[in-house]
Amino acid sequence: MNITIVGTGYVGLVTGTCFAETGVNVVCVDVNKKKIEDLKQGISPIYEPGLDELIIKNLRSGRLKFSTNLAECIDDSEVIFSAVGTPPDEDGSADLQYVLDVARTIGRNMKKYVCIVTKSTVPVGTARKVREAVEDELSKRGEKIEFDVCSNPEFLKEGNAVRDFLFPDRVVIGVENSRAEEVMSKLYRPFTLNNHSVIFMDVPSAEMTKYAANAMLAVRISFMNEIANLCDKVGADVSNVRKGIGSDNRIGNKFLYSGIGYGGSCFPKDVKALYHTGLDYGCPMKIVRAAEDVNDEQKLIIYHKLKAKLGSLEGKTICLWGLSFKPETDDMREAPSLYIISALAKEKGCKIRAYDPIAMSETKRRLPDMNVQYCNDLYEATEGADAILLLTEWKEFRLPDWDRIKTAIKGNLILDGRNIYEAKLLREMGFEYEGIGTR
């Protein structure tokens, strides 16, 4: 089976590479010539565990190819996935410019039936706009060529995307008719053979499913962060509360961990887009808006704790452990660390020392004017520090040599933004420890 993936960002590259791994012939297309030339050499533009090896393996097998010319790929493709970016517009709504550009290019160049699939996260009604864009281009050509438009939203977790794609909880596919369902069933047959759930539904429901899933998870995170903040006030421990409510099988124990807020490419963007979709249809999404407001405040909760503990930060040195929005990725989009660094940089005379295993280069790119000393390892970052702020729970931060750290730091304050440390142990060692909603 021959398919084309348009867009070699996070979603497109993982999708194309993993389909090639199942035996499909894949061409990944992008307008960025440098990126495509690098990919032809097996050089990935993103950090994702296991992805580099699969790219090289499938390049060598000939099942995975890269191109900058979508028009040349259309005739040979049974399915074309649109996985281009849908950045938030100024008002937070999803910008469909690139999605519709892909649709128009297909309409201008297609000569036979093709199944067009939106893989990007898009608002309800996008498939209809894609169909209209293709039909408009066909009309200009005086052609009547049949095609279908499907929705196949992704549910990939950064840091675990390859496994999520190859061993999915579920595959959601929105189709218009039995013909499209037959095409998509053929493509996903390797997954149904392994008893992975493939759920077919109408297209608007598939588009809504993606937004609803991410909004639900965002709401859970913000809810637990509010509970944690209240625990701080009343003397309760959110870790115990989490166990107590998570043992209720109506609630479950996933996404009940408090911390310093969510970030990344999906939750912030999708929550905003869903809220604006609600406004467009006269249905204000009040809970969704509240989740976003709580998250915006939570990103600076550890900064406010630091100020409460140390008062003026003039002359103080602050150590930051972790910069990416979550472990196992270099993604810095909407990472809480960006907001914390910006706040610390405004404090007169405050020095910032930081370490992240992967994301320091990306942080420098995003904050080129910030006076941050990037360190070679977690221990170097603690030298002369008045406080250590744990921002990202990378594995190497979980069991550090606290005796070594005690001799390196100037102060004794540990602020744990992810609640991974044992408070009793650190306090017995002479550290002043505080988590988010823990005792």
- What's the mean pLDDT in 90-99? 82
pLDDT, position 93: 77
Report the pLDDT value the prediction gives residue 90, as an integer from 0 to 100. Answer: 67
Residue 264, CB half-sphere, CA atoms under 13 Å: how many? 20
What type of residue is 413? Answer: L
pLDDT category at 85 given cuts 50, 70, 90 is: confident
Q: In the structure, what pLDDT confidence band is assigned to residue 194 with cuts at 50, 70 and 90?
A: confident
CB atoms within 10 A of CB 64: 28
Secondary structure class of 281 (helix, strand, coil): coil
pLDDT in tens, 219-250: 999 999 999 999 999 999 999 999 999 999 99
Say if residues 387 and 357 touch (Cβ distance below 8 Å). no
Entry pTM:
0.89
CA atoms of 329 and 264, how far apart (whole Å): 10
Is the per-residue pLDDT at 177 higher than 90? yes
Residue 106 exposed, middle or buried by CB count within 10 Å (0-12, 13-18, 19+) = buried
Burial 376-400 (b: 16+ CB within 10 A, else e): eebeebbbebbbbbbbbbbeebeeb
CA distance 376 to 369: 20
Least confident range of 82-91, 179-188, 235-244, 345-354? 82-91
- Interval 313-364: pLDDT, tens: 999 999 999 999 999 999 999 999 999 999 999 999 999 999 999 999 999 9
The DSSP H or E segment spanning 317 is: strand 317-321
CA distances from 66 to 7, 20, 25, 32, 173 (A): 10, 12, 11, 11, 25
List the catalytic residues.
Answer: 266
Q: How confident is the model at residue 89 (pLDDT cuts 50, 70, 90)?
A: confident
Phi, psi (deg, nearest 5) at residue 219: -65, -45
Two structure tokens written together for 77: 């493709």
What span, in angstroms and rounded, lies between the C-alpha atoms of 114 and 75? Answer: 9
